[in-house]
């Protein structure tokens, strides 16, 4: 059942309720999960630890991530099967996370991406660095020019 019809002038098909652009595309779902802020840094910590479990507080200190964000990312990794969670009935509470074999398999993917990134530069980054510094658009000329507020149309190509 469609959510609603597209506004006039919009492009694309009507989105079905509960669907996302990556739904049904396994690589898209993986990249969407890995693309969340701090997710790759968290996985890197687990890969560096090998099979050893890591306590929540230890991860928080190493990464400097807020407890709320770290807890959310770890829940996502646990639900996806990349990390196993073990809590101990102790005071103070102790929770450890350990990488699963699924996490170890990511080493091949990360290694391939590392090799690829060493062979290829990102064109946009290379272009921006050769253009120079960005100067915000202004109205007027000379020292009396005032910065333009709001959306700006840029006619020159980089």
CATH placement of domain 26-118:
1.10.10.10
pTM for the model: 0.60
* pLDDT at 99 exceeding the cut of 80: yes
Helix (H) or strand (E) holding 59: helix 56-63
CA triple 127-129-133, angle to 5 deg: 115
* pLDDT at 71 exceeding the cut of 90: yes
Instruction: State the average pLDDT over residues 49-56.
Output: 91
Radius of gyration of the chain (CA): 23
* pLDDT at 5 exceeding the cut of 90: no
The pLDDT, as a whole number, for residue 18 is: 53
Q: Which residue has the higher pLDDT, 62 or 153?
A: 62
* pLDDT at 135 exceeding the cut of 80: no
């Amino acid at each position: 059942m469609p959510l609603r019809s597209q506004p006039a002038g919009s492009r694309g098909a009507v989105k079905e309720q509960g669907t996302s652009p990556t739904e049904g595309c396994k690589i898209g779902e993986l990249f969407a999960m890995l693309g969340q802020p701090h997710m790759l840094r968290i996985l890197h910590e687990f890969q560096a630890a090998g099979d050893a479990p890591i306590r929540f507080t230890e991860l928080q200190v190493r990464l400097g991530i807020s407890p709320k964000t770290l807890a959310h990312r770890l829940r996502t990794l646990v639900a996806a099967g990349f990390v196993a969670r073990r809590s101990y009935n102790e005071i103070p509470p102790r929770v450890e996370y350990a990488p699963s074999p699924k996490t170890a398999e990511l080493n091949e993917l990360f290694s391939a991406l590392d090799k690829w990134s060493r062979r290829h530069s990102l064109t946009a980054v290379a272009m921006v660095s050769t253009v120079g510094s960005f100067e915000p658009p202004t109205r007027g000329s000379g020292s009396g020019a005032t910065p333009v507020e709001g959306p700006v149309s840029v006619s020159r190509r980089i």
